[in-house]
Amino acid sequence: MIAVFRRDMQGFFRSPLGYVYIGAFLAIMNLYFFATCVLASSSDVGSVFSNMLIVFLFLMPILTMRLFSEEYKQGTDRLLLTAPVSVWEIVGGKFFAAVGVLLTALLCTLPWIGIIALFGTPAWADILGCYIAVLCASAVFAAMGLFLSSLTESQLIAAVLSFALFLGLYVADMLSYSMDSSRLPGRLLSWLSIFTRYDSFMSGQFSLGNLIYFLSLTGLFLFFTARVLERRRL
Residues lying near another protein in the complex (CB under 8 A) are found at: 2-4, 6-7, 10-11, 14-15, 74-86, 231-234
**Closer of 70 and 186 to another protein (Cβ):** 70
**Closer of 73 and 187 to another protein (Cβ):** 73
Contact 125, 196 (CB under 8 A): no
Contact 31, 62 (CB under 8 A): no
Instruction: Give the nearest distance from C-beta 93 to another protein in angstroms.
Output: 9
**Closer of 90 and 139 to another protein (Cβ):** 90
Instruction: Give the nearest distance from C-beta 21 to another protein in angstroms.
Output: 16
Instruction: Give the nearest distance from C-beta 214 to another protein in angstroms.
Output: 30
CB-based contacts of 199: which residues, under 8 Å, 6+ apart?
50
H helix intervals, 75-192? 77-82, 87-107, 110-119, 124-149, 155-178, 184-192
Contact 146, 95 (CB under 8 A): yes
**Closer of 17 and 115 to another protein (Cβ):** 17
